[in-house]
Structure 1
Amino acid sequence: MVGPRGSPAGPSRAVAARVRCAAVAALVAGLGAVAVVVTGLLREPLTLPLAVAAVVVAVVAGWDALVHRGARRYVAATVVVAALIGGVLLLDLHALARLATVIALVLVSLAAARVALSDTRDTAAATTRPVGAAIRGALLMNPRSGGGRVVRFDLENQARRRGITPILLEPGDDLRALAEGAVADGADVLGMAGGDGSQALVADVARRHGLPMVCVPAGTRNHFALDLGLDRDDVVGALDAFGEAVERRVDLACVGDRVFVNNASLGVYATVVQSDAYRAAKIRTTSQMLPDLLGPDARGFDLRFEPPDRDRSIRADLVLVSNDVYRVERLSGFGTRARLDEGVLGVVTLTLDTTTGVSGLLAAELRGDLGSHPGFRQWSTPEFTVDSGDELVDVGVDGEALRLAPPLRFRSLPAALRVRIPKDRPAAARPPLPRPGAASVELFRRAAGRPRAA
């Protein structure tokens, strides 16, 4: 990743040193736990496979416990304890000291791995301030978002019980007009229960009137809520932000006069999203359209822009412009953002020159290692312009399919939105950690001082 002027952007030396030390500690402790089991089983080789399997189960379950919440975390933790006890009992029924050693080493390994695999960029905690309860809160709701989450969680009645005015979006309604109407009626806090496209629209109304906003994760993916640090499974709990809460300022971004909270895509993905069949069958529609979009007879995409190193031209098949910088591992998930207040756009481009390039993309996608693809580039900038010879360009803006006239001018809107967060939520999301297999590979990379580009 490079900075706004094309200069490399990465962790400071102190952060890099901490990550490397944590990676080494995770590997040493993990291998030490295995060594303790193996050493004790040298006298009993028949039980060695079972004991080693128990340690592997404990590590995998421990990782699952670290990266999930709720019942799944407790179940995984129970599996860890059972696996460790079982492995050591296979070794020696009286080896309590060995049991304690193995458990300690596994816990140290998992804790150090968590530190080592966290986002390595320097990230100060988001600045928040306590705020009192809303006096005339208004919650706009899209009952069709997220498979009917508004109805499933009875958000209309839940809002009324909290003194919040519910405003239901009916077929044919103009969401912006409803939000403006709520402001005209005296709302001092605007909330939106719906997908990220709806969140962006209400966010735009809130920022124009200088009002704070509450994000209620009632959509399908709820990426904005995730990066705000909200629990996407606790839909009703998000309403607590209308009460005594904390407030922070976050960035927005726009293409022309259209505001978005997450990202805008051009090229392959944007064209696929335009298909009427995409919503009902995403994978099948994508697989059917890719040969025409990327095959040898494809017309290609006329997307013209200025790369950070101006002496090198780029022909891109896919362009993703985000509100702040994403940690990109897969196109399907598109990662998370460590910060929502950097005041920049994140730009990702992907070039697929040949059929081999497409195969490499699929392999990188499966591994969760998109940054290793030779046609992948990522940088950040406060402004970005894409031109084209086409009369209209397909653009997917926060998942909404649009066709816009070029040139497309993207801008960051630093600290444009006031967002209210429940008091018991963190100030920012922690980027997801890789799965155990990929985590092991990345730990070796970071221990060697060669982390994968974020």
Structure 2
Amino acid sequence: MTETRRLFLILNGKSAPREDVRSAISRVRDAGHEVAVRVTYEPGDVARFVGEALGADTRPDAIVAGGGDGTLNQVVAALLDTHGQAQAAPSGQPAVGVLPLGTANDFAVGLELSTEDPGAALTLCAEGEIRTIDAARINERVFVNLASGGTVTQITREADPRAKRLFGGAAYLIAGASHIGRLAPSNARFSAEGFSWEGEFLAMAIGNGRLAGGGVPLCPEAQLDDGLLDLTLFPQPDADHVLGLLSRLLHETEAPVEGYAKTTRFSSLTVESDAELSLNLDGEPMQAKSLKVEVLPGAVRFVTGPAPKGLVS
């Protein structure tokens, strides 16, 4: 048997009643691992629970985010806020695991983790390999997967949740088509080492991970442990090609950026705009006119499978 671990599961309150989640916890406990469970109820709970885990006499081996990408974001942000965001993860820092229970689970899908079997996902948190991955920061906000902005962010936010459940990525295309008459482009100036661009764009993505919006590979070449972030920019097309681009962005599964987007890799990026830019950081909203983006190399110890996609090592 593998060495037992102490898991501290922070479970999104929406998922607490699920029988498959309860069965997953029982399965892992029956295998000899410890699982402490905390259920979120209101804003601030995740940070408070992370503080509780770090302050325990016996720290957990892994803090598990039970929910969607937003729950994972909050766990990582709280952990980095405690340990500092400008240095590699200290050896005593608990690893982070994920029990994917959200609608999209883009981070978990990008790592090819189980999203259909909570028992398998939680077992992996108890028995999987721990690797060091990067995180990222925009101004004072942390993300671990991907930050997106522009019209696509607006569509993602406004898509009917019921349609997302029924149609998946096609729901975003439906939302885009219904708003085609008012899809105003954003305008900004981007500057990184060896890269400069200014103009109108339909969408932008800054990726530590590869996927967003329900499995769309906005940053298809991004790697979680290379010490860099990927920028993908979609310049504003002419009016006759807007819907076609939206279809590629929101519905295709194979590298929709190829041949159209402007891309670069960077460790530090500045974005300046005369108007507020709306962003989505791992499912969490943000607005700002000026963005300072930087990678946080090796900031998080993360539980992964044996050969996860999206990692160099």
Shorter chain as denominator, the TM-score bin is: 0.7 to 0.9
- Structure 1 residues 242 and 305: CA distance shift in structure 2, 3 A: closer
Question: Could you tell me which amino acid in structure 2 is paired with residue 142 of structure 1?
Answer: N
With structure 1 as the length reference, what TM-score do the two structures score?
A: 0.55
Partner of 2:242: 358
Instruction: Render the CA deviation track for 1:182-221: whole Å, top value 9, x for unaligned.
Output: 2223432311111111112212333444221122122222
Identity across the alignment (%) = 23
Cα separation, 2, equivalents of 1:420 and 1:327: 19
Cα separation, 1, equivalents of 2:116 and 2:221: 19
Question: Could you tell me which amino acid in structure 2 is paired with residue 213 of structure 1?
Answer: V
Partner of 1:287: 177
Aligned length: 284
Pairing 1:370–2:241 present: no
- Structure 1 residues 288 and 221: CA distance shift in structure 2, 3 A: same
Pairing 1:167–2:47 present: no
User: Of residues 129, 142, 145 in structure 2, which corresponds to 1:259?
Assistant: 142
- Structure 1 residues 342 and 395: CA distance shift in structure 2, 3 A: same
Contact between 2:110 and 2:211, CA under 8 Å: does it hold in 1?
no
Cα separation, 1, equivalents of 2:211 and 2:74: 25
Contact between 1:132 and 1:245, CA under 8 Å: does it hold in 2?
no
Instruction: Render the CA deviation track for 1:300-344: whole Å, top value 9, x for unaligned.
Output: 3232222776676443221111115x389x996226567321111
Instruction: Render the CA deviation track for 1:266-302: whole Å, top value 9, x for unaligned.
Output: 1102223444x64344444332223201xxxx4x323
More helix by proportion, 1 or 2?
Answer: 1
Cα separation, 1, equivalents of 2:256 and 2:128: 38
Contact between 1:227 and 1:340, CA under 8 Å: does it hold in 2?
no
User: CA offset at residue 178 of structure 1?
Assistant: 2.0
**Matched position secondary structure for 1:153:** helix
- Structure 1 residues 302 and 313: CA distance shift in structure 2, 3 A: closer
Contact between 1:383 and 1:412, CA under 8 Å: does it hold in 2?
yes
Cα separation, 2, equivalents of 1:428 and 1:414: 18
Contact between 1:265 and 1:318, CA under 8 Å: does it hold in 2?
yes
Cα separation, 2, equivalents of 1:351 and 1:302: 10
Question: Could you tell me which amino acid in structure 2 is paired with residue 393 of structure 1?
Answer: L
Question: Could you tell me which amino acid in structure 1 is paired with residue 8 of structure 2?
Answer: A
Contact between 2:113 and 2:121, CA under 8 Å: does it hold in 1?
yes
Partner of 1:153: 21
Partner of 1:72: none
User: CA offset at residue 171 of structure 1?
Assistant: 4.3
Instruction: Render the CA deviation track for 1:354-412: whole Å, top value 9, x for unaligned.
Output: 112314415645664523454x211111111211112x421111122x23233111111
Question: Could you tell me which amino acid in structure 2 is paired with residue 370 of structure 1?
Answer: P
- Structure 1 residues 157 and 286: CA distance shift in structure 2, 3 A: farther
- Structure 1 residues 362 and 173: CA distance shift in structure 2, 3 A: closer
Cα separation, 1, equivalents of 2:155 and 2:243: 18
Contact between 2:95 and 2:300, CA under 8 Å: does it hold in 1?
yes
Contact between 1:143 and 1:151, CA under 8 Å: does it hold in 2?
no
**Matched position secondary structure for 1:177:** helix
More strand by proportion, 1 or 2?
Answer: 2
Pairing 1:139–2:9 present: yes
Pairing 1:195–2:78 present: no
Cα separation, 2, equivalents of 1:273 and 1:227: 18
Cα separation, 2, equivalents of 1:226 and 1:176: 25
- Structure 1 residues 132 and 313: CA distance shift in structure 2, 3 A: same
Structure 1 range deviating more: 206-215 or 309-318? 309-318
5+ unaligned residues in a row in structure 2: which ranges? 84-92, 164-170
- Structure 1 residues 185 and 372: CA distance shift in structure 2, 3 A: closer
How large is the RMSD of aligned CA atoms in angstroms?
A: 3.2
- Structure 1 residues 258 and 271: CA distance shift in structure 2, 3 A: same
1:397-436 to structure 2, matched below 5 A, reads 397-400=281-284, 402-421=285-304, 425-429=305-309
Cα separation, 1, equivalents of 2:269 and 2:222: 21
- Structure 1 residues 430 and 265: CA distance shift in structure 2, 3 A: closer
Partner of 2:54: 183
**Matched position secondary structure for 1:302:** strand
